[in-house]
Amino acid sequence: MFVEVAVRVSVDGERCVGSGHCVDFAPQVFRQREDGVSQVIGQPSTEQVAAVREAWDACPVVAIEISED
């Protein structure tokens, strides 16, 4: 049986190129500022962890950081 654990997520604003994949996968967790750089708007619930991991995998510059609590 697979159980999702709580995670904390952040975006490296210096690295982010504004592709928007994170917002596509997890709009409840990420948003893009006017300048295109993504930012975290809320930490993911356990139900959102899979979407956050997909966003991390889709990020072309590895700007998303995930740490397990």
Task: Give the CATH number of the domain where residue 13 resides.
Answer: 3.30.70.20
Kindly state whether residue 58 falls inside one of the protein's structural domains: yes
Kindly state whether residue 55 falls inside one of the protein's structural domains: yes
What's the pLDDT at 65? 97
Model pLDDT for residues 10-55, shown as the tens digit of each residue:
999 999 999 999 999 999 999 999 999 999 999 999 999 999 999 9
Domain total of the chain:
1
What is d(CA 32, CA 23) in angstroms, rounded to the nearest whole number? Answer: 7
Range of the domain at 20: 7-68
Q: Which residues contact 66 (CB under 8 A, 6 or more apart)?
A: 7, 8, 9, 52, 53, 56
Does residue 56 register a pLDDT over 60? Answer: yes
Kindly state whether residue 2 falls inside one of the protein's structural domains: no
What is d(CA 3, CA 18) in angstroms, rounded to the nearest whole number? Answer: 31
Kindly state whether residue 39 falls inside one of the protein's structural domains: yes
Does residue 60 register a pLDDT over 90? Answer: yes
Kindly state whether residue 11 falls inside one of the protein's structural domains: yes
